[in-house]
Amino acid sequence: MMTMNKARLIIEAAITKAKEIGRPMNIAVVDAGASLTACMRMDGAWLGSIDIAINKAFTAKAFDIASHSAGTGSAWPEAACFFLPGKIQVCSRAR
């Protein structure tokens, strides 16, 4: 179950990765039902990408794929991905 504490940890991991690659991001976390749990915009992240991050996280969970695979035809059915902005992925093994 996705909790606020888990969402916070995911966001912190994403912030660390975004800083590491030098790219501010909008970060969206959805629960197992694809409902938004948390969303955060880093300083300097594009305002227009907020909606994209939320929709990408929803789509990835709704189709049970990693967000970097959304639209490419390459899916990871063995993983349940809860948070997926840009090129950052945080997945949990579902089985």
Per-residue pLDDT tens for 45-58? 999 899 989 998 89
Q: Which domain covers residue 77, as residue numbers?
A: 4-93
What DSSP state is assigned to residue 74?
Answer: -
DSSP of 17-67: HHHHHT---EEEEE-TTS-EEEEEE-TT--TTHHHHHHHHHHHHHHTTS-G
CATH number at residue 78: 3.30.450.150
The token pair that represents 50 in the structure block: 């907020």
| C-alpha triplet 84, 82, 68: angle, nearest 5° | 30
Which mean pLDDT values do the consecutive 10-residue runs of the chain (95 residues) have?
Answer: 91 92 92 92 92 89 74 45 47 42
The answer to whether 82 and 95 have CB atoms below 8 angstroms apart is no
Task: Give how many domains the chain has, as a whole number.
Answer: 1
